[in-house]
Each structure stands twice: as structure tokens, then as C-alpha cells.
Structure 1
């Protein structure tokens, strides 16, 4: 998830919270509902970004595993080590994505 997307979704969520609070304070149900809708859109965007990042990390883990196995089969210690490193990096990124 890019920093720009994260900031955009966070701002949209904050805007929705403010709009919802104004709607509640003024008794305007439409403004309140619009605020909740803004928050829902922001949360959906955040979830989509996380899913996209998860898919990318899984792909990197699979690529790393393939390199590790190929290195082991061909006795290429460098390729095997590179594959293991790519897997660890992908796992670390996935951990940060939660």
C-alpha cells in the first residue's frame, strides 16, 4: 500500500467522521449518513490496498522459494541464499502489512 493511498484513505475516514458528527449534532440524518458512507469507502479502500499488498508478498515468497529450490537442485549456494533472503523479506513486509 503506497503512502499516498494510505494518507488518502485516512483523510477520507477523518472527513467522514467529522461529517457524521456534524450530522448528529445538527440532527441532519443525510449528512450523518454521508459521513458514514465516506468512512465505509475509506475502509474498503484500505482493505483493498492490504489485499493487493498481501498478493504481491505471496508472489515474492513463491519466487524466493523457487529460487531456493533451484539453487539446491543445481548446487548453486548463491541462488539458494538469494531465494531464502527474498522469502524472509516478503514475510517481513507481510508482517508490517497487518
Structure 2
């Protein structure tokens, strides 16, 4: 999930909060409920993007591990180092995915 996606979800959430607050102040239950729905939708999209990124990062880690092991088996230090680097990059991306 890129920064653009995070900003988009945050904007959708803020829009929902604004609608909900406006609905509460004006006594408009429909607008209040619409705001809550918008917030729930933004949270669901954010969660889906995080899940997608988690799966992608797990795949990157696995690919790196395969490269590391293949390098160790074939005595190719370059491949082994690249594999370790890929794994670390995937770990960092997953950490930032929170």
C-alpha cells in the first residue's frame, strides 16, 4: 500500500467523520449513518490493502530465502547475499505496513 492509498483512505475516513458530526449536530440521522458507513468503508479498504501487502511481503521473503539457500548450496555468495537482502527488505516493508 502506497502513501497515496493511505492518504486516500484517511481522506475518506475524515469525510465520513465530518458527515457523521454534521448529522449529529443537525439531527439528520441519515447523514450521520452515511458518515459512519463512509468510515467503515474506508477502514475496510485500508485493511484489505494491508492484507494484500502482507501476502506480497511474505512472497518476497520466501523468494529471498530460496535465493539465499540456492546460493549456499551452489557456493554462490552473491546469490546468498542477494537473498538475505531481499528478505530484509521484505521485513522492513512489512514493518512499515502497520
How high is the TM-score relative to the length of structure 1? 0.97
> Which secondary structure does the structure 1 equivalent of 2:75 belong to?
coil
Query: 1:3 offset after TM fit, Å?
Result: 2.1
CA distance in 2, matches of 1:90, 1:4: 20
Unmatched 5+ stretches in structure 1: none
User: 2:78 maps to what in 1?
Assistant: 78
The answer for the alignment partner of 2:11 in structure 1 is 11
Q: Which residue is 2:31 aligned to?
A: 31
Root-mean-square deviation (CA, aligned residues, Å) is 0.7
State the distance in 2 between where 1:88 and 1:2 align.
19
Return 5+ residue gaps in structure 2 as ranges: none
In the alignment, the residues of structure 2 paired with residue 6 and residue 92 of structure 1 have an alpha-carbon distance, to the nearest angstrom, of: 17
Please give the alpha-carbon distance, in whole angstroms, between the structure 1 residues aligned to 2:14 and 2:78: 48
Equivalenced residue count is 98
Which contiguous aligned blocks of 4+ residues in structure 1 show a shift greater than 3 angstroms? Answer: none
**What TM-score do you get using the length of structure 2 for normalisation?**
0.97
Matching residue of 2:49:
49
Question: Given the alignment of the two structures, is residue 63 of structure 1 paired with residue 63 of structure 2, yes or no?
Answer: yes
Q: What is the distance in 2 between the residues matched to 1:62 and 1:3?
A: 25
